[in-house]
Structures are given as structure tokens and as C-alpha cells.
């Protein structure tokens, strides 16, 4: 249930109706104001994955103390627990924001196996792992354009929560195929490696599928900027994108640039749009206890918030929400070493060591030579650390590829008195940011599920109706029509649901929005979803069979 929402608009409409029915010829001031008030038709949600409040505080001080773009939107707190744990994984955390339902660790866009946290209603057995519709899917079916942006691979947990359904966030094949066939208008981020046939178990070339479905497929910032297409798919790295501090602007766009481009494309639809933007690697830096990575990508994310907010204020038809899915790392300004002198240390004590860093730990790894004999020189040049101990040098030399943030992050944290409680997620409430031109913001202490329902209300869409339309239990629905339901698994990595009734044969390839009835292909309004035990199809697939 939504909390602390304003209902002045409804009251004004009711009063206007009463006045008019009383026979007054002159409209009231309230009626005139209502007639000129713009309607919200777009929603942009920006998710800084794993961003604790300490991360925004540190970034603000790092940038001189000036307000962040997010600051003026602060409107409440969000409870982030999942269906069965007080500390959430990104998959159920994002699922709650996308669908209005809490779920289980690793589950993307599906219900959990059980609800055990206090206050949650028991889950029916038949609903276990059932796919549930996201706000994005509901917006798409209502005629709006839709898009996702991420600085991680686009099939990572949070973007997947809005666009796919599977009880295992690590099944990139199943998730990415659903996303390619999901009918999105804009996808910007990275992860093209996972679309290539040589790394996919199903051997499908999804990049060619993207192109064949009418998208302008781009891989450079210049090509993204130059695109005039209404359907745009941009992937700028084989796996994740670089941290902002390490980013080569000729190879990868910033998250703010991607947000601006997505809005440019999506806003061409007069019916409106829904856009999800994730600052993915804030979370990764927090896992590594790396304050440089956090500052790098919180600042970049905040610029994207500024882009969205500027558009919303200019056009007066867009609601903007920003909230993380969970905290991470327990970052603090001050650590165990400042227990007795915390109030005597100047700001420079905490910030100056951080200001010396020119790259994140990930960026530093690329500066080390093959035998890592230049550790001291690299750390002095790029991190400003000239007092490395022998043990620290040995730790850097021994760091596995892809893990340098985990080694050097704590080193600079110690020198800047930045504290950490964990290398994992944390369960505290997080800050809610919201802005709407009609003043109808989400406020107070709310559940993460309330965010999805607020966005659905602003867009005028119904999540439950969308779930019923997109996810019908295939066997039950077709058998009620007198049909037989089988499974063609000759190619185990490309299974097909086969439905027969009399002389009619309906084939439904799993994770695609395609149906083949008696040899003729039809496009469905959603994808066929297999959750490991059951198959769900859109009602439009059921309706194809007489």
C-alpha cells in the first residue's frame, strides 16, 4: 500500500464537478488550475546499486560540499529486506522495485519460494517462482516506449529484474534472450560477449537478432550520438563498462550521456515512456571496500540524475525516482582509528588522500607491468601512496586479475580513515529520492515494493492485470481448450513448447515472443517463460489456438 501520498488532485476534480453541476457559468480557480496542470506520462527510475548514505556524503565532500543533484529530491526512506532475509541480494531488491513483490536471493522477476519475513503474507504453493510483471512491461503494453541503461552487463540482476524472469540471476543465456525479444526500444550498456554464439549454450547469434528486429546497433559513443533511429541498442564493452574515473570517452559513453540519449529517443513517443537507469558498479566498489570506485561512480550517477531531473522540470510531464536496492559495505567517514579524535580531524584528513587518486583499483591494474615490478611507482603516480609497506606491495603483486580494487581499496581507506563493516550487502533503510511535477511524490518510510506501485500509479498502469496477461500457465490454459501440450527438446538448449489440437499445431520457442501456428509465424506481446519447472505464455499465445 502506498503511504503518505497527496490526493489534492482528486479532491479538486470532485469540487469542480460539484460547482459545474450547480449551474455556475464561471469556472472556479481550482478548476482553471486543474485544466492547465500537466499530466505525468513518463517515469524515469535511477538505481545506484549498493549505494549507502555514507557514499553520497563522502562524494559530496569530495566534490567540495556542493549539493548533489539527488539532494533536492530526498523524500523518505525505503526498507530493503527481501522475502526471507533482512539483507537483500540485488536480484530480489530490484525485483521489488520493478514488480511490487519481494522475492528470494538470485530470483529475477519471479516470486520467491516462501515469505518468512515479519508482516508478509504466506505465499501460495502454486505461486512459487511464478513470473510477475514489471512496471516497464506494463508501460510497454500501454503503448509507451521503454528502455534500460546499466554500466554493468545489461543482463545483470537489476536491469534483468525489469525485463526478464528466471529464478537464477546467473543464467545469462535465458535472461539475455528474453531481453532481446522483450520489445524494448532502447538498451544501452555493455555485455555483448554474452550475445555471441561461441559463448552461448544455445549457439544463437543474438547480435544479429537485434539487428534483424530493426534496432540501430552501436558500439561507440560517436555512433550512439549520431543515431537517429527510434530503436537503439548500444553495447560498449564485452563485459562491464569501466568506472567513470577510468573511462576512455572515445570508447565508452558516460552514464549521463546514455541517459540523455535514451530520453532523446524515448520521448519521441507521444504516449510517453518508462526508463530504468542503473549505476551498477557503485555496488562493486562497495564490495571491494574501494572508496575511489564509489566516489567515481556516485558522482557519475548523480550527473545522470541531473539529466533526468532537468528534463522532467523542463517538460513538466515526467516523474523521477531514485533509490538504491540495498546498502553495501557499511561505509563510514571515520574508522576505528578515529575513535578518540573524530571531532578534531579536519575535512582534509579524510579527503586529501582520496584526491590524490587518479584511477580506481581496476584502472591501476592496467598500469602494472607483467611481473608487477613497478608497484611502488604506479601506486605513487596514480594513487599518491608513497609509503607502501612490503606487505602491501606483496599483496598487490599477488592479487588475481580483476580483483585489484579489493586490494588497494582498503589501503587508501586506511590512509583516509574511511571505515567499513563488511564486504557484503547491508540491511539498513536507504534514502528515497522522488520528484513529480504535480507534487505527488512518494514520501515517508516505505517498502521497496511501494516504489513499483507508485510508478505504476503515476503511469496509470495495472501490474496485476499485466501479470495475468503476460504469464498464463501454459498447460492449464491449453488443456482447457482441449489441446495437448508437449515439449520438443531435440535441441536441449533451444526447447519448444508444442501444442496440438486437431489439425492445428502451435509451436512456442522458449524465451522468445514468437509463435508458429501451422507454419505461420506470429509475434506475441510477451515472451514464453520457463522457470525451471513450469512454462508460462502470454494470453495472446493462448488466443491463437481456436
pLDDT digits (tens, 9 = 90+) for 96-133: 999 999 999 999 999 999 999 999 999 999 999 999 99
Q: Could you tell me the pLDDT band of residue 489, with boundaries at 50, 70 and 90?
A: confident
Active-site residue, 90 included? yes
Q: Please say whether the beta carbons of 162 and 178 come within 8 A.
A: no
pLDDT at 370: 93
Does the pLDDT value for residue 187 go beyond 70? Answer: yes
Q: Please say whether the beta carbons of 101 and 449 come within 8 A.
A: yes
332 is in an annotated binding site: no
Average pLDDT on 309-333 reads: 98
387 is in an annotated binding site: no
Share of the chain above pLDDT 70, in %: 93
Average pLDDT on 169-193 reads: 98
Name the active-site residue from 16, 82, 90, 413. 90
89 is in an annotated binding site: no
Cα–Cα distance between 303 and 253 in angstroms, integer? 13
* Long-range contacts (CB closer than 8 Å, 24 or more residues apart) made by 20-29: none
| Average pLDDT taken over every residue of the chain | 93
Cα–Cα distance between 494 and 110 in angstroms, integer? 21
165 is in an annotated binding site: no
Average pLDDT on 156-185 reads: 98
Does the pLDDT value for residue 1 go beyond 70? Answer: no
pLDDT digits (tens, 9 = 90+) for 511-536: 999 999 999 999 999 999 999 999 99
Question: Nearest to residue 149, comparing CAs of 307, 268, 269?
Answer: 307
104 is in an annotated binding site: no
71 is in an annotated binding site: no
Average pLDDT on 173-202 reads: 98
For β-strands 74-79 and 430-435, DSSP reports them as antiparallel
pLDDT at 39: 73
522 is in an annotated binding site: no
pLDDT digits (tens, 9 = 90+) for 429-479: 999 999 999 999 999 999 999 999 999 999 999 999 999 999 999 999 999
Average pLDDT on 231-246 reads: 98
Does the pLDDT value for residue 274 go beyond 80? Answer: yes
Does the pLDDT value for residue 34 go beyond 50? Answer: no
Q: Give the pTM.
A: 0.93
Amino acid at each position: 500500500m502506498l503511504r503518505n501520498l497527496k490526493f489534492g488532485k482528486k479532491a479538486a476534480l470532485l469540487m469542480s464537478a460539484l460547482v459545474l453541476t450547480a449551474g455556475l457559468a464561471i469556472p472556479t480557480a481550482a478548476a482553471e488550475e486543474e485544466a492547465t496542470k500537466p499530466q505525468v506520462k513518463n517515469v524515469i527510475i535511477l538505481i545506484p546499486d549498493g549505494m549507502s548514505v555514507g557514499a553520497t556524503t563522502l562524494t559530496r565532500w569530495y566534490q567540495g560540499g556542493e549539493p548533489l543533484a539527488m539532494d533536492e529530491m530526498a523524500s523518505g526512506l525505503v526498507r530493503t529486506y527481501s522475502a526471507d532475509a533482512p539483507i537483500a541480494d540485488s536480484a530480489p531488491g530490484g525485483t521489488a522495485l520493478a514488480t511490487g513483490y519481494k522475492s528470494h536471493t538470485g530470483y529475477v522477476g519471479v516470486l520467491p519460494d516462501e515469505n518468512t519475513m515479519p508482516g508478509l503474507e504466506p505465499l501460495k504453493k502454486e505461486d512459487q517462482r511464478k513470473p510477475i510483471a514489471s512496471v516497464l512491461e506494463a508501460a510497454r503494453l500501454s503503448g509507451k516506449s521503454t528502455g534500460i541503461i546499466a554500466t554493468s552487463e545489461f543482463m545483470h540482476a537489476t536491469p534483468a529484474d525489469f525485463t526478464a524472469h528466471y529464478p537464477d540471476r546467473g543464467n545469462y543465456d535465458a535472461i539475455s534472450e528474453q531481453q532481446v525479444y522483450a520489445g524494448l526500444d532502447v538498451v544501452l550498456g555493455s555485455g555483448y560477449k554474452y550475445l555471441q554464439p561461441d559463448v552461448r549454450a544455445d549457439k544463437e547469434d543474438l547480435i544479429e537478432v537485434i539487428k534483424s528486429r530493426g534496432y540501430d546497433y552501436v558500439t561507440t559513443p560517436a555512433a550512439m550520438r549520431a543515431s537517429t533511429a527510434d530503436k537503439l541498442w548500444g553495447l560498449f564493452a564485452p563485459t562491464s563498462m569501466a568506472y567513470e574515473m577510468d573511462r576512455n570517452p572515445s570508447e565508452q559513453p558516460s552514464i549521463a550521456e546514455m541517459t540523455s540519449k535514451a530520453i532523446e529517443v524515448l520521448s519521441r513517443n507521444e504516449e510517453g515512456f518508462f526508463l530504468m537507469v542503473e549505476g551498477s558498479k557503485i555496488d562493486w566498489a562497495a564490495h571491494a571496500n574501494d572508496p575511489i570506485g564509489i566516489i567515481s561512480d556516485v558522482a557519475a550517477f548523480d550527473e545522470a540524475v541531473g539529466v533526468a531531473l532537468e528534463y522532467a522540470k523542463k517538460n513538466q510531464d515526467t516523474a523521477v525516482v531514485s533509490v538504491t536496492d540495498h546498502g553495501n559495505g557499511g561505509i563510514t567517514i571515520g574508522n576505528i582509528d578515529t575513535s578518540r579524535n573524530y571531532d578534531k580531524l579536519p575535512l582534509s584528513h579524510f579527503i586529501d588522500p582520496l584526491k590524490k587518486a587518479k584511477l580506481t583499483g581496476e584502472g591501476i591494474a592496467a598500469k602494472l607491468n607483467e611481473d608487477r615490478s613497478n608497484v611502488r611507482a604506479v601506486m605513487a603516480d596514480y594513487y599518491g601512496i608513497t609509503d607502501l609497506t612490503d606487505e602491501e606491495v606483496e599483496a598487490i603483486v599477488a592479487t588475481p586479475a580483476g580483483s585489484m580494487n579489493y586490494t588497494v581499496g582498503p589501503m587508501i581507506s586506511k590512509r583516509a580513515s574511511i571505515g567499513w563493516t563488511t564486504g557484503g550487502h547491508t540491511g539498513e533503510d536507504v534514502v528515497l529520492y522522488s520528484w513529480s511535477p504535480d507534487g505527488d511524490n512518494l514520501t515517508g518510510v516505505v517498502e521497496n515494493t511501494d516504489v513499483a506501485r507508485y510508478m505504476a500509479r503515476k503511469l496509470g498502469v495495472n501490474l496485476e492485470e499485466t501479470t495475468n496477461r503476460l504469464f498464463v500457465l501454459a498447460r492449464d490454459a491449453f488443456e482447457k481448450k482441449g489441446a495437448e501440450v508437449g515439449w520438443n527438446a531435440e535441441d536441449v538448449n533451444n526447447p519448444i513448447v508444442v501444442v496440438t489440437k486437431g489439425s492445428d499445431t502451435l509451436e512456442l520457442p522458449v524465451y522468445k515472443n514468437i509463435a508458429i501456428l501451422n507454419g505461420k509465424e506470429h509475434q506475441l506481446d510477451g515472451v514464453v517463460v520457463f522457470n525451471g519447472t513450469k512454462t508460462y505464455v502470454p494470453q495472446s499465445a493462448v488466443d491463437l489456438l481456436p
